[in-house]
Structure 1
């Protein structure tokens, strides 16, 4: 079992489907859970079974990050675990996507993770080390037609992962990633409710439950994965294998 007793864990995008599940699982595992989001964070923190703090966090804002880390430290002490879970998606092709949409997706998914790592690293040094997990996507491992902004951000996030893992290793800070397949969340559907990626031909022909993906994130964040850094854990239902025979 994952044990986060006494550890302070900050989850971004905490009020989304996966984020809320992550917060619940970290709390159940004994963590001091910092619920970070733009709305609904206080209500979610109050509903968790264990010590929790809700903080407002726009991941693209350096001042929001500074405030979130300060509040977490004031309440619980140094941050031990950061989960960069916040994500933004806009559909659009390479030729067709509005430039503002493209930039907004990169700002949240890539720059937001960079700012989070920058903000939390000094706190983790105070703790003697830490664990950072970036929630990536199969869109960062394979072509994603019609999702050029999202896919570009997730491929770039892999470069950030490797750079941060090498640079922070000497401080005992591990940086890993989880690549979920299609999860049963609103991000799996387009604005008209259409299925963005059909899953019927996957070797495991369904979308993942948020609890299944959260289990991978908790493992990557935990001391059970203490020999892994710069690693990418894939939970994609066999998507990368191609269609089932």
Structure 2
């Protein structure tokens, strides 16, 4: 469906469920895949197959971003697509969340994406352009009580995306975001097995599969979306519509 033959794609947070699905989908579409995460990156690259490598990357470290881009270019040449997928979530209200945890969430979700854009843009200029996709969330579009830090980081990430889209437009670099709904992973459930966000009354009354969200990300990074920049792609199963009778 999508053709990324000859394109080089770096995916952060690659060891998570969505990261694995992205690595596999991009590899199937012909891309050179760089699976980047703090752990498990080699296993993800092996699962993706094709022309894939794994690199260690803590997205909050400028030095590790520089190393990841150097290794990417050494293996495949300039970068064409960056998917800022790494994220950290900590439950807590605006009154209860420890300040150090608030900072950690923002450092990973927002500053990590900023460092990714800074590292990727010079490489994409060498390639004549590129695409940056920030994986956002429904918490970046709606009230998210109990997720004060996560929601704050994702709302701020929207501003970063639009600023970068305007700044990099003349370099032929598109910047977009994808806002997934609830993905079917263990993180969607509490310790007692109950869903953290009930979805039975949504327009599409189920959680998304990681592969479904990966397909939306591939579309937003593809030539089929070549006229979209500064755009927000929503794949939330109708969460924003509220309960459906």
TM above 0.5, yes or no, is yes
* Partner residue, 2:232: 232
* Partner residue, 1:111: 111
Per the alignment, in what secondary structure is the counterpart of residue 36 of structure 1?
A: strand
* Partner residue, 1:137: 137
Residue 20 of structure 2 contacts residue 48 of structure 2 at CA under 8 Å; is this kept in 1?
no
* Cα distance between partner residues in 2 of 1:232 and 1:186: 26
Structure 2 runs not aligned, ≥5 long: none
* Cα distance between partner residues in 1 of 2:189 and 2:156: 23
Q: Deviations over 1:179-216 (max 9, x none)?
A: 00111123323455442211111111110011110000
Residue 89 of structure 1 contacts residue 187 of structure 1 at CA under 8 Å; is this kept in 2?
no
* Cα distance between partner residues in 1 of 2:197 and 2:206: 11
* Partner residue, 1:46: 46
Per the alignment, in what secondary structure is the counterpart of residue 13 of structure 1?
A: coil
The number of residues matched between the two structures is: 245
Per the alignment, in what secondary structure is the counterpart of residue 176 of structure 1?
A: strand
Structure 1 runs not aligned, ≥5 long: none
Deviation at 1:148, TM superposition (A): 0.5
* Cα distance between partner residues in 1 of 2:150 and 2:193: 18
Per the alignment, in what secondary structure is the counterpart of residue 131 of structure 2?
A: strand
TM-score, length of structure 2 as denominator length: 0.98
TM-score, length of structure 1 as denominator length: 0.98
Deviation at 1:43, TM superposition (A): 1.8
RMSD across aligned C-alpha pairs, in angstroms?
Answer: 1.0
